[in-house]
Structure 1
């Protein structure tokens, strides 16, 4: 089968398609014939040599995919049949023509969605769902500040916060991204290149601050985050795009707010946790992708590339110009 490959860590120019052995499904696993796989920051970091896949995971890039069930491994419980369309959360291996998946990490493709749209759901939407509900304990009426509001996770978090009855606010880096976030249901958006998002957030919340912050930036935003956090607010850190270092009185400011700083990742979690997350998401959220009206959810796709253009896809993600997800289509 064809798979995205790189011989040594580095830039997008190191990526190419290589003929590799097709994997075989192990105990309780399904072989997915991959139609599409979405790009994530994890793919960029892994290509740069900064993010090793978890122990036992495929070294091939790609942590979410959609396609059809091609084979059932021994011990499968019988939920899936050969030929069923499915989308999958992976710990690696998605950017190839076939990938193995524990059967509990497969989800049905919502009616009315294409395979590329479905490929844009698993990692981004499960991350947003996990951050809001399992880690951030979002409540109706909460104000939620979502950094990188036009990203895959950001566009999912806006919509999930909205249907949970919360008030989503976002930071973005352009006017186009601002308009898109508001169209998805953000109550307000702040262009961090043009204004101080912390001051703007305090103004919007009439001085109260936000109850919850979803933060993939880290270091460079710490002071503004803590300044616009409400008393007893929760600040959930899930990425370090703005660096890992903090210098200054973070603890005293956080203590003064009685704030909680919690960190979370999804890829490194164990199979049992991921299966619980996938089950909850499948039951509570997946039906909303096929609904009509204000409760409807929509994966946001920016561009779809044939997998042969993998270098271009990585360059485009690194330009930070995209809104929503970048998807790769695999040859069928």
Structure 2
């Protein structure tokens, strides 16, 4: 396969990288090229066939996150809660960066699946405004209306810490995702509001009881933008058999997380991880969900990924590994981008 297959990806943390960078001209950094240690910028995106994805706004923790350790511990605690004022400051700043990138012509903020298709056809990066951790949103949900008007179309209720709406899972292995209480009353109201506004709810980082609450309350497909298979890597962040079954029943979606600690059976954050390990997770996801409900959710710029990919320009290496495994072009295109567009049609419209 010599021609690039387009990739629309379920999750990246590039906006956080830009937010934390000392450079004042964030747009120039993204458009002209970011540090080699980063994963996504416009030149490398074009080289790798990356046509867009969910651009996450992640309010950074007050201290180093447990995700950065070499190997998660059995008793790894949750990250501490984040004050709303601090989360609102960083969330607003990252939303501003996203909108400035759009004004600079680097990408298009897409509010519907049709807009995603239009951007891809025009050769413009299609960015879906996503929030990972709802700490910036007040429990009266006034801020949700403001963010939706600004383009928010995908929301992870929690990151791996508690907030006013629910509890995340710790970076713990081996562990099931059954690690704490479910959604608060405010969290349940947030689910209903997201359904009403047609904001896709992301179940990655949410614990088991919270997942069940969403499954019981939501009338939309269940989606985990960047999670893997618990049976292959028994990390609290990964999806168990019943969770995968619930996603399948609702015609939802799972994006394969490239983070090596959620791929490997030893849980190590080790870039020396074979692409075969990723293919095994894709195989298992296809078996559990069917070929219309699996995609990529790389976690670019937020995780240690296999050196065989390196950054967004290395996406063709993963595509090639799927082809070598015997995946046909039609199936590869579904996994690479078409399935994400399909689930966006079923969720945000």
Q: TM-score, normalised by structure 1?
A: 0.30
Where relative contact order (Cα < 8 A, 6+ residues apart) is larger, the structure is 2
| Structure with a larger share of its residues in strand | 1
| Structure with a larger share of its residues in helix | 2
Q: TM-score, normalised by structure 2?
A: 0.29
